[in-house]
Structure 1
């Protein structure tokens, strides 16, 4: 349960202001929100299952070095904080692809999200979490966190018709990543 709750919160925060949210809003302007959410959910579940498998393998393979893994994970979260501050933008080309995707909506959204998430910070954060937490809770939680953040973007975009308060989200998400990173490093050093 802890892995589920932690990964839901961390990935939700990681997804705020990410280009995947912008893609979700763009797709929602073309397709039904339900189809967009189904495509996002399927793509995210597949990417995060791979991420969790990789993270669990690393965690098991280096179980004797759990302190070092915590420190590396903490450093990774500090990097995610900096990445979040740098920001993520949807290029005009990516926006056009989202607007003009052909084929079934669920397939178009799913393929686009699958490709966009490969190597993204949410994928890397999921791998990092899975090195220390249970794979099933991490997988379900990370998938739920991402889908919830993207659903929020779709809803807010549809209701308000404008962008989320970008600076507040960016700084808040970066601060939370930095806090998680500092806590992991402190844990790895045996400070608590």
Structure 2
């Protein structure tokens, strides 16, 4: 249960102001069809975070527990720093619009998540907790918690959200996870 709740909370907080949340705002403003956008975000996130969770689980089989502990601890600390750096979105829509609302959202979100902090967090969390389903379900729920309101409420919510405060909280959580991991908090899991 810890893996699910921590994964949900971290990704929901880290996603605030992230480029994929900015993409959700843009898609909502452009298409004004929330249901296919939300379904596209869900499917893209499940696919992307499923792959990331599989990589995280696989990494645990490649490294010794001591090496994995250092890699994960330092990764969480790096995520803390990365969370404090504001995201921007590229205006390169190209031919995506020809794929319809769902297809555009699916492809755009999947690609935007490649190498994004929430994808990297999913890899690290899956390796940390060795609970693939709980982590992927949690990170996916976190993405939906952050992005569904962006699709439904658009600019009304963006103007009122204290993005810097939310990023600071997410960064603090990542930092605590990193320090705890480096200090051996995951020892009961073989990390």
Equivalent residues in 2 for 1:25-44, closer than 5 Å = 25-31=25-31, 32-44=33-45
Aligned residue among 165, 171, 187 for 1:174: 171
Say whether 1:48 aligns with 2:49: yes
Per-residue Cα deviation, 1:19-56 (whole angstroms, up to 9, x for no partner): 11000011111231211111111011001111111111
- Equivalence map 1:153-192=2 (5 Å): 153-160=150-157, 162=159, 164-187=161-184
Q: Structure 1 residues 160-169 or 37-46, which shifts more?
A: 160-169
Distance in 1 (CA, whole Å) between partners of 2:127 and 2:152 is 33
**Residue in structure 2 matched with residue 119 of structure 1 by the alignment:** 115
**Structure 1: stretches of 5+ with no match in the other structure:** none
Query: What RMSD, in angstroms, separates the aligned Cα atoms of the two structures?
Result: 2.2
* 3-state SS of 2:98 partner: coil
Mapped contact 1:81–1:174 kept (Cα < 8 A): yes
What secondary structure, in the 3-state scheme, does the structure 2 residue paired with 1:102 have?
A: helix
Identify which of 138, 141, 144 aligns with 2:141: 144
| Partner Cα distance (2:87, 2:55) in 1 | 25
State the alpha-carbon separation in 1 of the partners of residues 166 and 186 from structure 2: 30
Deviations 1:98-150 (A, max 9, x none): 9x823320110000011111111111110111113211111111111112111
TM-score by length of 1: 0.86
Q: Retained in 2: the 8 A contact 1:60–1:131?
A: no
Q: TM (normalized to structure 2)? A: 0.86
CA contact 1:67–1:187 (8 Å) conserved in 2:
no
Moved over 4 A (4+): none
Distance 1:13 1:182 in 2: 19
**Residues matched between the structures, number:** 184
